[in-house]
């Protein structure tokens, strides 16, 4: 399968955001908003890589539900990944609205990393671009 260069680039960038997540695990210097931002970015870039591999045009958006919807509309079963839409808020809103996360429980960073890793592995397997150990 020929994988478009754009898909490869997006998946590589998603991997870098994923590495940032792993680097923030257990480090209280990084606020949940920053951790959540990198989770959202890794998810967004992975979904866009998946769309690119399927030759599906996608908009410039941070809305994870919109990207998952496009995959579904094009015959892809993404049911396992719909819970990831909760991270859309970290794309912009949580980073620019002070206090937005104040009443929220802390992010379960291990769970987030596991969820993002599952997506990265899925897209990597489908594209032949799995860069995770």
CA distance 8 to 83: 24
* Residue percentage of the chain with pLDDT more than 70: 88
Confidence band of 65 (pLDDT split at 50, 70, 90): very high
The secondary structure of 84-125 as a DSSP string is GGGGGGGTTHHHHSTTTTTTSPPP-HHHHHHHHHHHHHHHHH
pLDDT at 103 over 80: no
**The pLDDT value given to residue 64:** 97
Give this prediction's pTM: 0.90
Q: What domains, with CATH codes, occur in the chain?
A: 5-127 (1.20.120.330)
Residue 56's pLDDT is 93
pLDDT of 100 reads: 62
**Do residues 86 and 73 touch, judged by C-beta distance below 8 A?**
no
Name the pLDDT band for 1 (thresholds 50, 70, 90): very low
Compute the residue count for the chain. Answer: 133
To the nearest whole number, what is the mean pLDDT of the chain?
A: 89
């Amino acid at each position: 399968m020929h994988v478009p260069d754009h898909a490869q680039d997006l998946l590589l960038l998603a991997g870098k955001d994923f590495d940032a997540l792993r680097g923030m695990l257990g480090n209280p210097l990084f606020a949940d908003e920053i951790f959540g931002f990198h989770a959202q970015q890794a998810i967004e870039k992975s979904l866009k890589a998946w769309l690119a591999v399927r030759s599906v045009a996608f908009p410039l958006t941070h809305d994870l539900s919109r990207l998952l919807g496009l995959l579904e509309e094009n015959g892809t079963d993404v049911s396992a990944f719909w819970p990831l839409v909760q991270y859309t808020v970290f794309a912009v809103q949580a980073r620019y609205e002070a206090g937005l996360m104040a009443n929220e429980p802390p992010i379960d960073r291990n769970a987030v990393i596991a969820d993002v890793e599952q997506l990265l592995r899925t897209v990597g397997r489908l594209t032949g671009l799995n860069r995770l150990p």
